[in-house]
Amino acid sequence: MLLHPNGEDTLILCCVACGYAANAERAEFRLPAVEHQPLEEPRPIVTPGCETIADVAAFVGVPTSQMKAVFYARDEEAGGRK
């Protein structure tokens, strides 16, 4: 494929190091391989002083992309139930 000002198609180009080029109708992509690690069983963790997901991730030592959090609030006036 060649670039030309009168071209009537869309060209998909990758970075210089890769050198991939293709017509938009024929372009293909592959997701990079991801190594999945088994998940731990869910368990409650007390996180004193943590106010954000980033705080919790740092506290437990995992990246934020691996976080799944559930927050519970306690209403002291209702006897701890909400």
Question: What is the C-alpha to C-alpha distance for residues 45 and 49, in angstroms, rounded to an integer?
Answer: 13
Question: What pLDDT is stored for residue 82 in this prediction?
Answer: 45
Render pLDDT for 51-62 as a digit per residue (tens, 0 to 9): 888 999 999 998
pLDDT of res. 1: 65
**Mean pLDDT value across residues 55-75:** 83
Q: Which helix (H) or strand (E) holds 11?
A: strand 11-13
For the chain, the average pLDDT equals 79
Alpha-carbon distance of 16 to 42, in angstroms, equals 44
In percent, the amount of the chain with pLDDT more than 90 equals 10
Domain locations along the chain: 43-75
